[in-house]
Amino acid sequence: MKNFKRSIALAITIIILFTGVVFAQEAKTDPNYEYLQRVKEYIMARYKGEITDTQILEGALRKIIEKNPELLEQAIEGMFGTLDQHSTFFYQDQYEQFSTAVDGQFGGIGITVAKRDGNITVLTTLESTPAQRAGLKSGDKIIYINDVDVSAYEVEMAVPLMRGEPGTSVRLGIKREGNDKIIYFDIVRDLIKINPISFEVKQGNIGYIKISDFNANTEEYMQKALTVFDSQKIKKVIIDVRNNPGGSLEQVVEVAKHFVPNRGAIVHIEYKDNQKQTYYSDLQKTKYEVVVLINEGSASASEILAGAIQDSKAGKIVGVKSFGKGTVQEVLPLRVGGAIKMTIARYLTPNGRAIDGDGIHPDIEVKNIKKKVDANTLEKLSYTVKPTLGDKGKDVLAAEQRLKLLGYDVDEPDEILDEKTFKAIKDFQAEQKLFSYGVLDITTQIALNNAVQDVEIEVDKQLEKAMELLSK
Q: What is the pTM of this model?
A: 0.75
CA 147 – CA 169 distance, rounded (Å): 13
CA 460 – CA 171 distance, rounded (Å): 44
CA 454 – CA 433 distance, rounded (Å): 19
**Residues labelled as active-site residues:** 300, 325, 329
Task: Grade residue 26 by pLDDT with cuts at 50, 70 and 90.
Answer: very low
Mean pLDDT of the chain: 89
**Closest of 438, 420, 419, 416 to residue 429, by C-alpha:** 438
Asked if 278 contacts 267 with a C-beta cutoff of 8 angstroms, the reply is: yes
Residue 47 phi, psi (nearest 5): -65, 130
DSSP bridge pairs for 289: 236
CA 98 – CA 434 distance, rounded (Å): 39
Q: Which of 36-40, 181-185, 231-235, 382-386 has the lowest mean pLDDT?
A: 36-40
How are beta strands 88-90 and 339-348 bridged, if at all?
Answer: antiparallel
Residue 94 has pLDDT above 80, yes or no: yes
Q: Any idea what the Cα angle at residue 418 is, between residues 413 and 424, rounded to 5°?
A: 70
* Residues with Cβ within 8 Å of residue 265, at least 6 apart in sequence: 278, 279, 280, 281, 308, 311, 312, 350
Asked if 199 contacts 209 with a C-beta cutoff of 8 angstroms, the reply is: yes
**Distance, CA of 389 to chain centre:** 35
| Number of neighbours of residue 241 by Cβ within 10 angstroms | 31
Task: Grade residue 67 by pLDDT with cuts at 50, 70 and 90.
Answer: confident
Please tell me the predicted confidence (pLDDT) of residue 69: 83
DSSP designation for 139? T
DSSP assignment of 180-241, as one string?
SSPEEEEEE-EEEEP--EEEEEETTTEEEEEE--B-TTHHHHHHHHHHHHHHTT--EEEEE-
CA 132 – CA 110 distance, rounded (Å): 8
Per residue in 237-251, pLDDT tens? Answer: 999 999 999 999 999
Please tell me the predicted confidence (pLDDT) of residue 17: 55
CA 159 – CA 114 distance, rounded (Å): 10
Please tell me the predicted confidence (pLDDT) of residue 155: 86
Residue 24 has pLDDT above 50, yes or no: no
Task: Tell me what percent of the residues of the chain surpass a pLDDT of 70.
Answer: 94
Q: What is the mean pLDDT of residues 123-143?
A: 91
Per residue in 182-213, pLDDT tens? Answer: 999 999 999 998 899 999 999 999 999 999 99
Surface-to-core class of residue 410, CB atoms within 10 Å of its CB (0-12 exposed, 13-18 middle, 19+ buried): buried
pLDDT winner (highest mean) among 103-112, 172-181, 317-326, 364-373: 317-326
Q: What is the mean pLDDT of residues 81-103?
A: 84
Please tell me the predicted confidence (pLDDT) of residue 29: 63
The CA radius of gyration of the chain, in Å to the nearest whole number, is: 27
Q: Which of 17-21, 119-123, 126-130 has the lowest mean pLDDT?
A: 17-21
Please tell me the predicted confidence (pLDDT) of residue 7: 36
Please tell me the predicted confidence (pLDDT) of residue 25: 38
Residue 22 has pLDDT above 60, yes or no: no
CA 20 – CA 327 distance, rounded (Å): 11
Residue 21 has pLDDT above 80, yes or no: no
Task: Grade residue 1 by pLDDT with cuts at 50, 70 and 90.
Answer: very low
CA 453 – CA 188 distance, rounded (Å): 47
Residue 342 has pLDDT above 50, yes or no: yes
| Number of neighbours of residue 93 by Cβ within 10 angstroms | 11
CA 235 – CA 205 distance, rounded (Å): 8
CA 240 – CA 238 distance, rounded (Å): 6
CA 227 – CA 234 distance, rounded (Å): 10
**Closest of 65, 156, 83 to residue 113, by C-alpha:** 156
* Residues with Cβ within 8 Å of residue 260, at least 6 apart in sequence: 266, 281, 283, 286, 308, 309, 312, 314, 350
| Half-sphere exposure of residue 138: CA atoms within 13 angstroms, side-chain side | 15
Q: What is the mean pLDDT of residues 356-378?
A: 93
